[in-house]
Amino acid sequence: MSAKRDIYITEVALRDGSHAISHQYKLEQVRRLAQALDKANVPYIEVSHGDGLGGSSLQYGRSLTEEMELIEGAVDVCEQAKIAVLLLPGIGTQSELKQAAKLGVKMARIATHVKEADISPQHIALAKELGMETVGFLMMSHMATVEELVEQAKLMENYGADTVYVVDSAGALLPHQVKERIRALKDKLQVNIGFHGHNNLSLAMGNTLAALEEGATRIDGSIRCLGAGAGNTQTEVLAAVLDRMNIETGIDIYKMMDIAEEIVALILPQPQEITRDSLVMGYAGVYSSFLLHAKRASEKFNVDARDILIELGKRKVVGGQEDMIVDVAAELALKQEKANSR
């Protein structure tokens, strides 16, 4: 018997959390975590490379384990939870989406930059044809006005998305901005509205609650904050907070606490916290998965990672332009060298 729910939480540690561990998930880790989440009554579990299907590459980071193996492993151990995947058109392909569907994936989250929803219709349509629940995922939502966001969200609704998400990829939105965006989508769209937050400004939980106040019913969380940058809204904490608010998630809070402590803590290379690098990402408004790339470029070119991230923000660089991180670092190093030689 399925649990009663007022809102539906998608656990993203096995996708967004991939960024935090440089995409080095092992099959046994994914199977163990997915099975535990399933037993805790989590309704949706997202599994794929951090940058979605097809993300394993030199540009985005090579996966330790082929993602279809991870997806198959998660599907195999789940009895009630539905496995979801993320797909960014241009990185993932229709072929990979079909393969995921054959493995038993039940939800496809089609992600685009907030002003590029028009590249998603064929992937949304295919997901619907494959019998998947389909989500439109508008990344870097802080980079669009409320009016632009509504326009893009309506495109995804018209393409067939069952849900459209406001995605705070950089952890840059403030609570009043989240409220404005969710309220506008709730007023103008007929489909479910969702919210995906990052904690770079310590606002993931506050922003999530703001989204819920305005009518969002689909929420993303990451257990023990395992996600890009400073992580996402912490799932086990969110479940506890919502229980205090008498909002039904159907999730077993004690089991989630145990999973966080006994499974996920062992996966994390270090605790998820707001470091100077993740803070500057929220401040600059850059994609949270840029953190590890910026740190590597910082070491290689001997420039401050904060300067790299701030410059990326000024140039409005978005997910899919990771190659620009090295270019920016090299340019900053050259400027620094010239300044020092004067």
Indicate the annotated binding residues for substrate.
15-16, 169, 196, 287
Q: What is the mean pLDDT of residues 41-67?
A: 94
Q: What's the whole-number average pLDDT of the chain? A: 95
Give the pLDDT score at 2: 62
Indicate the annotated binding residues.
15-16, 169, 196, 198, 287
Q: Which of 19, 49, 142, 293 is catalytic?
A: 19
Q: Using a CB cutoff of 8 Å and minimum separation of 24, what contacts does 325-331 make?
A: 325/290, 325/293, 325/294, 325/297, 326/293, 326/297, 326/300, 328/297, 329/294, 329/297, 329/298, 329/300, 329/301, 329/303, 330/301
Instruction: Name the pLDDT band for 163 (thresholds 50, 70, 90).
Output: very high
Give the pLDDT score at 1: 46
**Domain residue ranges in the chain:** 8-266, 276-341
Q: What percent of the chain has pLDDT over 90?
A: 85
pTM assigned to the model: 0.92
Indicate the annotated binding residues for Mn(2+).
16, 196, 198
* pLDDT tens-place string over residues 113-131: 999 999 999 999 999 999 9
Q: Could you say which architecture CATH assigns to the domain 8-266?
A: Alpha-Beta Barrel (3.20)
Q: What is the mean pLDDT of residues 166-176?
A: 97
Q: What percent of the chain has pLDDT over 70?
A: 99
Active-site residue 19, yes or no? Answer: yes
- Domain 276-341 falls in which CATH fold? Helicase, Ruva Protein; domain 3 (1.10.8)
| Residue 250 DSSP code | -
Q: What is the mean pLDDT of residues 222-230?
A: 95
Give the pLDDT score at 179: 98
* pLDDT tens-place string over residues 264-287: 999 998 889 998 888 998 999 998
